[in-house]
Chain A
Amino acid sequence: MSDPDFGLWVYLSRTPLLWLTVTLLAYVAADRLSAALGRHPLANPILLAVAIAAGLLAATGTPYRTYFEGAQFVHFLIGPATVALAVPLWRERRAVRRAVVPMTAALLAGSVAAMLSALLIARAFGMPDAVLAALAPKSVTAGVAMGVAERLGGDPALAAVLVILTGAIGAVTVTPLMNLLRLRDMRARGFAAGLAAHGIGTARAFHVDPVAGTFAGIALALNALVSALLAPVLLRALIG
């Protein structure tokens, strides 16, 4: 290569460092933009960051596999983050114990409602079983959902995309929806956000209110457990 700039690009674009840096910078930019827009539900930092990073991939013609070689270091942290959810659960153990009845009921009702409605609608549209398997754990945090989908015979990468889309839909709609229902109990609002929209809903809940965030984290942790157990049962019942 005679062009030294192009040679540098060829070198850097192949190292994990470049795309790891891009991921962090996209996050910082998206978070600032979201804060500048007053944390409007539509200005979701994850959606903005994904748009920035995906736009850069498209503009430079970089394959996702190359990007992921750098981004995998961030992606890896979903596992430890799932483990770390034990800490808010432990810290709020008194509040959790006090709300154990509404939480258990809401957990079971919400988990079944979200999964069953998704599967029934998808089946009505005639989607193949492999897509249903990737769709079943869509309300569960990404790392867990990918594991569940794989075990059910679905594509883990598709499951991850459906999880992110679900989280974005939940994070964007939860505040207006709860206002519409005139629900002001921050525990109920947060718990719903964490259950239906996992980590993305939890991140949104923490932006709205610390109590909502805590209960969202609890719901996210508990739903990872319950949905991992229920998804195979519901899917088998539907596709027999």
Chain B
Amino acid sequence: MIPGAALILLCQLAGEAAAHATGLPLPGPVLGMILLLLLLLGNDWLPRPLPTASATGAADGILGNLSLLFIPAGVGIVGKLDVLAAHGAGLAVALVASTLIGLVVTALTFALLARGARGDGAEDAA
């Protein structure tokens, strides 16, 4: 698990460095994710294989408790009550409507194209 955690941090570090050095509009962790994906996909061709089992263990550990990670940012709501109060109605409408629109548009687009492609949507639904 520790070699895997180190690999994940190393990818994030490389991503942060690349984002800062190049000024790309992408955040460092996203670049780190792309890097880790490329490393995992290319693992068979690497001269020394990555500690894949360790990396998946570390990743499953952190992703299994994803909810926990959002609590500190969520508690930040206590410091933003003034902005929320000033734009409360607008923000409430914007957040609820756009989230519902995003959910419906995404799910319908996916389902329509998946059904058209090979009909394997039906077998998954069963």
Contact = CB atoms under 8 A, between A and B. Distances in A.
B109 A105 contact: yes
Chain B interface bracket (under 10, 10 to 19, 20 to 34, 35 or more) = 35 or more
Contact of A117 (B25, B63, B83, B98): B98
Contacts of A165: 77, 95
Nearest to B80: A161
A122 B63 contact: no
Interface in B32-62: 32-34, 36-37, 40-41, 55-56, 58-60, 62
B77 to A, nearest CB: 5
Determine chain B's interface SS by DSSP, over half rule. Answer: helix
A174 B28 CA distance: 30
Contact of A135 (B62, B66, B94): B94
Interface of A: 23-24, 26-27, 31, 45-47, 49-50, 53-54, 57-58, 64, 67-68, 71-72, 74-75, 77-91, 93, 98-99, 101-103, 105-107, 109-111, 113-115, 117-118, 121-122, 124-127, 131, 135, 138-139, 142-144, 146-148, 151, 155, 157-158, 160-167, 169-170, 173-174, 177-178, 181, 183-189, 191-193, 195-197, 199-200, 202-203, 211, 217, 219, 221, 224-225, 228-229, 232
Given A105-B109, A199-B67, 15 more contacts: A24-B68, A27-B67, A79-B32, A82-B12, A85-B59, A103-B110, A106-B106, A110-B109, A113-B98, A113-B102, A173-B103, A183-B108, A183-B111, A185-B110, A192-B104
